[in-house]
Amino acid sequence: MRGRGVGGGRGNVCRFIYTFTRLFIYLFFIIMEDKSKIVLHTCCAVCGAYLCELLKNQFSEVLIYFYNPNIYPREEYEKRLASAKKLAEIYKMEFVEGEYDNENWLEKVKGLENEPEGGKRCLVCFAMRLEKSAQLAKERGFEYFTTTLAVSPYKDEKLTDEIGETIAKENNLKFLKSVELNQEKKEIWNKTRELARKMEFYHQKYCGCQFSIYSK
């Protein structure tokens, strides 16, 4: 009787170890899957302040990509660039500056100069910047990309998500949608403004392009 009892105990221990090992392996791969790398297209440091805080806990690596050829004039571009670099330094994230090809941007939006803010010109502008972000993600072997554009209350996050998802499918990537942040947009905006003030980032007075200046 005692021998059978000992054997049964050993069998239970073995089954426990086997079950625990399988569970450990399962959780390990879930964690590894969640800890992917992401390119964060950053329109400005203000919109990126709290988003970086959220993403650093969700991804193993966050690359801040400053590609904004729409910004005008060059002096304004440099101010926003400096704050974006400061953002990367604070969070100890890699920073990549895209080419400032404003002439190319103007060619892309030609004929849409009189469009209102949020109109067709903005859609072309969003797509141009997100396409470059996706290209960088592929080059670096990153699985995800997203943008700070959706954080701003002046931008329609449904449009940026739609454009981002379309580009992601074309490039066999994943686009992190605003709804996947699991926080209300208003809450994210309030927190990012508070952080931006504490970090003393430059606060711009208009969206970025020369047409948004004139429409103020």
- For residue range 128-182, list pLDDT tens digits in order: 999 999 999 999 999 999 999 999 998 999 999 999 999 999 999 999 999 999 8
Query: Are 22 and 116 found together in one domain?
Result: no
pLDDT at 25: 57
Query: Are 139 and 58 found together in one domain?
Result: yes
Amino acid at 183: Q
Please report, rounded to a whole number, the percentage of residues in the chain having pLDDT higher than 70: 83
Query: Are 22 and 40 found together in one domain?
Result: no
Pair 167, 134: CB distance under 8 Å? yes
Those residues whose C-beta lies under 8 Å from the C-beta of residue 197, and which sit 6 or more positions away, are: none
Query: Are 7 and 39 found together in one domain?
Result: no
Query: Are 126 and 193 found together in one domain?
Result: yes
Query: Are 186 and 203 found together in one domain?
Result: yes
Return the minimum-mean-pLDDT range out of 7-16, 21-30, 31-40, 120-129. Answer: 21-30
Mean pLDDT (the chain) is 90
Query: Are 91 and 3 found together in one domain?
Result: no
Q: What gap in Å lies between CA 65 and CA 58, rounded to an integer? A: 18
Query: Are 78 and 113 found together in one domain?
Result: yes
Those residues whose C-beta lies under 8 Å from the C-beta of residue 103, and which sit 6 or more positions away, are: none
Query: Are 30 and 53 found together in one domain?
Result: no
Query: Are 5 and 48 found together in one domain?
Result: no
Q: Which domain holds residue 14?
A: 1-34
Where do we find the tokens 């927190």? 191
pLDDT per residue as tens digits for the range 107-134: 999 999 999 989 999 999 999 999 999 9
Write out the DSSP string of the chain.
-HHHHHHHHHHHHHHHHHHHHHHHHHHHHHHHHHS-EEEEE-S-HHHHHHHHHHHHHH-SEEEEEE--TT--SHHHHHHHHHHHHHHHHHHT-EEEEPP--HHHHHHHTTT-TTPPTTSHHHHHHHHHHHHHHHHHHHHHT-SEEEEGGGGSTTS-HHHHHHHHHHHHHHTT-EE--GGGG-S-HHHHHHHHHHHHHHTT----SS-SSHHHHHT-
pLDDT tier at 86 (50, 70, 90 boundaries)?
very high
pLDDT at 27 over 80: no
Query: Are 23 and 41 found together in one domain?
Result: no
Those residues whose C-beta lies under 8 Å from the C-beta of residue 146, and which sit 6 or more positions away, are: 38, 39, 40, 41, 55, 164, 175, 176, 177
- Comparing CA positions, the residue from 35, 88, 28 lying closest to residue 64 is 88
pLDDT at 4 over 80: no
The CATH number of whichever domain residue 141 belongs to comes to 3.40.50.620
The pTM for the full model equals 0.84
pLDDT at 1 over 60: no
Give CA separation, 171 vs 26, 32, 53, 99, 213, in Å.
Answer: 28, 22, 27, 21, 34
Q: What gap in Å lies between CA 104 and CA 38, rounded to an integer? A: 26
Query: Are 58 and 162 found together in one domain?
Result: yes
Domain tally, the chain? 2
